[in-house]
Amino acid sequence: MRTWIESANAADCDFPLQNLPFGVFSHGGDAPRCCSAIGDRIIDLAALEEAGVLDAGAPVFGQSALNAFMALGPAAWTSVRARLTALFRRGGDPAIRESLALKSKALVPMTEARMHLPFQVADYTDFYSSKQHAYNVGVMFRGPENALPPNWLHLPVGYNGRASSVVVSGTEFRRPLGQLKGPDEGMPRFGPSERFDFEVEVGAVVGTPSKFGEVLSVSEADAMIFGYVLLNDWSARDIQAWEYMPLGPFQGKATATTISPWVVTKAALEPFRTPAPAREKALLPYLNDAGSRHYDINLEARLKPENAAEATVLSSTNTQYLYFSAAQQLAHHTSSGCPMRTGDLLGSGTISGPEKSEWGSLVELSWGGKEPVRLASGGDRCFLEDGDTLTLLGWCEGDGYRIGFGECAGKVLPALPIR
């Protein structure tokens, strides 16, 4: 498909007509409102709704979050996507193309827009669904014989995180303070994390809710997912190592979770579905799934120190390395009767492939700090330093087009003084 927005027809454009992701933006002094993207332009969905050329079935796009639109369900998602395709396709509906006033109001240059958190995060759950990552971390702490926990091949391991610290790309934040205790120290001390890390992940965004006590099948869970974002679950490895027994991650994971400003819909990703990986042990029936619910999404992590001339590509990996799909994670989440809500966010867990260049965190790439990673701008890293900006990129390669997620970036600032 080609569009009359010429910048969107370039083969390396993240936002062709086939994509049409959803987000929230503001322009000038206007209030945040819902939008889509095509080429180098923001599509002001609230302006189209007000002009009467776009109807989701209810007035939802003037709001500062996508939640109301997502809650309308798959029929509305499909209808709006089809309408936008018709409006922007070459030779399609001329309602915008031939109206100078509407075109001027509804199409905003991306360089002039400010992106916001795309949806109100109801709850956040982070999983641990990349086998290579789980194996790598397990080898460091337990040795190769006991690298994978005994439950790992049977269920999507996860924990409930903090929705309040999910932030949009571009947000800067302070290095966390916490309790630290080295192996040779008799007592813990309080100070800035010395082993601060990133994690390459994708996040599934729940569009429609489930009921309290309801248990979903994998296919039912898949139908609830509105779309996907890039996700970086920043991790203080040293704080986590001291606190996580016996209950799991807490403050070591609570500082920030950065997501991309664009939610790429499941419909846009449909051509890039892939089969599940081979199962080493048979899954229980409620998780067993013959459908192709994994995706072929290329992922890249780049680190740029403050004042550096260039960034270093630390990791190039792919979502195909996930052992459990987001639909399986969501089905497992409801197996206890736990209700899911519009705006729930499910992190995939760090995504790592079999080659070292495909490992999705510094704790793996530096092998726990023993093998520093050389940077293109000079120097090296075992873990993140103050002033570092870590950027995730993600895209699917189509036939002459790509489906991109935009950037998911965050900068680490110095810790607050200890009082």
- The average pLDDT across 370-391 equals 97
Q: Tell me what the mean pLDDT of segment 326-348 comes to.
A: 98
Dist. CA 110–CA 126, nearest whole Å: 31
The pLDDT assigned to 291 comes to 86
**Cα-Cα end-to-end distance for the chain:** 59
Is there a domain that residue 364 lies in?
yes
Closest CA to 272 of 295, 289, 292: 295
Point out the least confidently predicted range of 76-80, 193-197, 245-249, 252-256.
Answer: 245-249
269 and 294 share a domain? yes
Same domain, 106 and 139: no
Catalytic residue from among 27, 116, 133, 333: 133
Question: What pLDDT does 245 receive?
Answer: 86
| 246 and 110, same domain (yes or no) | no
**Mean pLDDT throughout 208-218?**
97
Question: Of 81, 116, 151, at which residue does a domain stop?
Answer: 116
Query: Which residue is listed with tokens 């089905």?
Result: 331
Shared-domain flag, residues 71 and 11: yes
**Which pair of tokens denotes residue 226?**
């509105």
* Same-domain check for residues 140 and 19: no
State the Cα–Cα distance between residues 62 and 249, nearest whole angstrom: 37
**Residues 391/407, Cβ–Cβ less than 8 Å:** yes
Q: How far is CA 311 from the centre of its chain?
A: 21
Q: Which residue is associated with the tokens 């005994």?
A: 150
In a domain, 198, yes or no: yes
Q: Does 409 have pLDDT greater than 90?
A: yes
Judged against a pLDDT cut of 90, whether residue 340 lies above it is answered with yes
Q: How many domains is the chain partitioned into structurally?
A: 2
Domain boundary among 95, 116, 137: 116
CA dist 70 and 24 (Å) reads 13
When pLDDT is cut at 50, 70 and 90, the band that residue 1 belongs to is: confident
Q: Which CATH number belongs to the domain containing residue 110 in this structure? A: 2.30.30.230
Q: How far apart are CA 243 and CA 358, in angstroms?
A: 28
Residues 150 and 63 in one domain: no
Do 245 and 306 share a structural domain?
yes
Same domain (yes/no): 110, 92 = yes
133 is annotated as an active-site residue = yes
The pLDDT score that the predictor gives to residue 212 is: 98
pLDDT value at position 356?
97
Say whether both 404 and 256 belong to one domain.
Answer: yes
- The reported pLDDT for the residue numbered 373 is 98
Q: What is the mean pLDDT of the chain?
A: 97
Q: Strand, helix or coil at 179?
A: strand
Q: Is 390 found in the same domain as 287?
A: yes
Tokens standing for 295? 């995706």
Name the one residue in this structure whose structure tokens are 């095509």: 38
Please indicate, yes or no, whether residues 214 and 359 belong to a single structural domain of this protein. yes
Domain of 102 in residue numbering reads as: 6-116
Average pLDDT over residues 403-414: 98
**CATH number of domain containing 337:** 3.90.850.10
In tens, the pLDDT along 146-180 reads 899 999 999 999 999 999 999 999 999 999 999 99
Out of 116, 150, 166, pick the residue that ends a domain: 116
Same domain, 266 and 364: yes
Q: Is residue 418 part of a domain?
A: no
In a domain, 39, yes or no: yes
Neighbour-count burial of 248, counting CB atoms closer than 10 A to its CB (0-12 exposed, 13-18 middle, 19+ buried): middle
Q: Mention every residue, 6+ apart, whose C-beta is less than 8 A from residue 2.
A: 9, 17, 89, 90
Work out the angle at residue 158's Cα, subtended by the Cα atoms of residues 209 and 150, and round it to the nearest 5 degrees. Answer: 135
Does residue 74 belong to any structural domain of this protein? yes
77 within domain boundaries: yes
- Domain for residue 419, yes or no? no
- Strand, helix or coil for residue 178: strand
